[in-house]
Structure 1
């Protein structure tokens, strides 16, 4: 087997990357136009590689969305809890123009950003009514291996 390369990062590179992510969060804000919603839904899709959050109104129209890759995270950093909290912060920047009303949260997937995203939403004083796990679960699974004949 080949050797694994260990990447050493400088503090300056990490700071530059952090500034880049913060500017992407600031850029993601939209025009100021106030809109009152009766209810809104947050859909959190968390995989082993990325976290994606979509916000819709009660009819299903997308108000805003964001992902870790959209904010500038690359590679394995996209699936981290820190990336998930950054996604929530960026989305709430975009959604400042909306009064979200009653909030429902739907979580799908098994990634690392799943719990962090829910915690970040709870900490932002939203009027959360429901948190529901909608991760698909297989009922039967794949076909079994054929029986051995001896």
Structure 2
């Protein structure tokens, strides 16, 4: 049985904010939320608590769409990443069939500075 994914959840964790975007299979945005939308300001946006609340609001909205299969795409490195992973692990009432991590990684990067001689 191959699952046809009809809802995709994109989670982007930056050092300053957490942004969650819900799309349909074609990529049309259905709902978007961030920690800033939830009145978390300045350094409070970076906390794991704000990411957890943001994810809970997004998942409540996903339940109203009544999806058959869900794909989750996580991108970025921040403190909120582990809180989001823990929260996603405890979900039983949503049919999440695919979980991908598309965090960009440098292949070799820029040339290093030459070492200072003392």
With normalisation by structure 2, the TM-score equals 0.82
- Distance across 1 between alignment mates of 2:82 and 2:115: 42
Give the secondary-structure state (helix, strand or coil) at the position aligned to 1:70.
Answer: coil
The change in CA–CA distance for 1:68 and 1:143 in structure 2 (over 3 A counts) is same
CA separation in 1, counterparts of 2:11 and 2:111? Answer: 31
Map residues 112-131 of structure 1 onto 2, 5 A cutoff. Answer: 112-125=79-92, 126-131=94-99
Superposition pairs for residues 1-150 of structure 1, below 5 Å? Answer: 39-125=6-92, 126-145=94-113
SS in 1 for 2:74: strand
Stretches of structure 2 lacking an aligned partner (at least 5 in a row)? none
Change (3 A) 1:113 1:147: closer
Q: Please report how far the alpha carbon of residue 115 of structure 1 lies from its aligned counterpart in structure 2 after TM superposition.
A: 2.3
Unaligned runs of 5+ in 1: 1-36
**Aligned partners of 1:144, 1:115: CA distance in 2, in Å?**
31
Q: CA RMSD in A?
A: 2.1
The structure with the largest alpha-carbon Rg is 1
Cα distance in 1 for residues equivalent to 2:84 and 2:43 = 17
CA deviation map 1:41-81 (0-9, x unaligned): 11110011111011111110111110000100011111111
The normalised TM-score by structure 1 is 0.66
Number of paired residues? 112
Helix, strand or coil for the counterpart of 1:137? coil
CA distance in 2, matches of 1:108, 1:75: 21
Which is bigger in relative contact order (C-alpha 8 A, separation at least 6)? 2
Aligned to 1:121, the other structure's residue is in SS state: helix
